[in-house]
Amino acid sequence: MSIRLENIGKHFGATRALEPVNLDIHEGELVGLLGPSGSGKTTLLRIIAGLENPDRAGTRTPARILFGQRDVTHVHVRDRRIGFVFQHYALFRHMSVFDNVAFGLTVMPRRSRPSRGEIRARVFRLLEMVKLEHLANRYPAQLSGGQQQRVSLARALAVEPDVLLLDEPFGALDAKVRQELRRWLRHLHEELNFTSVFVTHDQEEALELSDRVVVMSDGKIEQIDTPETLYRAPQNRFVFEFLGDVNHLEGQVHGGVLTCGDARLAVDLPDGAEDLLLRPHEVRLAEQPNADCHLPVTVTAVSPIGAEVRVELEADWLAKPWLATVRHADFERLSLQRGKRLFAHPRQWHRFADEAADLLKPHAA
């Protein structure tokens, strides 16, 4: 089921939670709404659900919500055929896992309600999918947080919703369980191909799970793209900064050289103030400066965890420490340790002409 949002805005009294936005979600797509706290993600999700009404816009451009061809703008939440999973959408504590998952089916009007045998078969099929069939008789209190969220998901899918909405579904779980559940949701989605929209403020979660990510800030959509395009071609500074760690190199350009204290970098830019941005993997470390680049730094922390080594760098010319990620081989070759003095060499850098848009292509340095 595709979803189309036209001119959907929202005010709460004088607070503008959402500027009028347009959004097309394709059938079978898994779309993440990503943004900092207060950016309007939950408001947008609640409007899709029918838990909140969009502002009534002028008659020429009315707000509309379509599920496929069906205009659901004025359809009550209970008739929108939606499944929900919320961070704290507690299961019914006095009901077994089986009864929780069966709940939505057992309360259907008699004429559309499946028979008891069909309900049983469907619940067990779902429990198998979420790998909990052996716990059907347990009560929620006897399950881990991750298992409870899997039951919530099975419960949401039981009524075969047209659209599945998830609001920070893994927000309350610890990092490892979160990651497991993400992979598992991705697989389930591929298997069942439902259309779903989920809210998160976790970049990694959005990039790993989504077919496309909607990046939001301050009630506006900043960019809608696949994770890869978002990361490689952010449309503005906000998206670039929000999607990963960023190092700043601020200074004055004069005659093709950017200077900042005793730091210097040759750049092909007109004279004036600049703020260049670098991702941690774009910072190379070396024992020596060169003719084009003199960026002296001191190592202040090293964490050789995982596939790469994270190195924190400080310098008098830096307002905020830099973060570099280097390979283990370089870590050993440079004998990196606290207090070591080195030189940073940007592999490439990025620059946004202003807050509005305008990505200038990344520059190899």
Tell me which residues touch ligand ATP (CB under 6 A). 12, 15, 17, 35, 37-43, 201
Residue whose CB is less far from ligand ATP, 9 or 346: 9
What's the closest the beta carbon of residue 7 comes to ligand ATP, in angstroms? 17
Q: The tokens of 19 are what?
A: 């500027």
Find all residues with CB under 8 Å of 97, minimum gap 6, and list them: 91, 127, 132, 135, 136, 137, 138, 139, 140, 143, 151
What's the closest the beta carbon of residue 217 comes to ligand ATP, in angstroms? 9
Q: What angle do CA 4, 7, 9 make, to 5 degrees?
A: 115
Residue whose CB is less far from ligand ATP, 35 or 140: 35
Q: How far apart are CA 351 and CA 154, in angstroms?
A: 45
What's the closest the beta carbon of residue 12 comes to ligand ATP, in angstroms? 3
What's the closest the beta carbon of residue 218 comes to ligand ATP, in angstroms? 9
What's the closest the beta carbon of residue 233 comes to ligand ATP, in angstroms? 24
Residue whose CB is less far from ligand ATP, 38 or 145: 38
Q: The tokens of 251 are what?
A: 């200074």
What's the closest the beta carbon of residue 84 comes to ligand ATP, in angstroms? 15
Residue whose CB is less far from ligand ATP, 35 or 280: 35
The number of helices, as runs of H, and strands, as runs of E, in the chain is 9, 22
Q: In what order do the strands lie in the sheet with 296-303?
A: 283-286, 341-346, 296-303, 308-314, 322-327
Q: How far apart are CA 90 and CA 258, in angstroms?
A: 56
Residue whose CB is less far from ligand ATP, 65 or 283: 65
Q: How far apart are CA 179 and CA 166, in angstroms?
A: 16
Residue whose CB is less far from ligand ATP, 15 or 59: 15
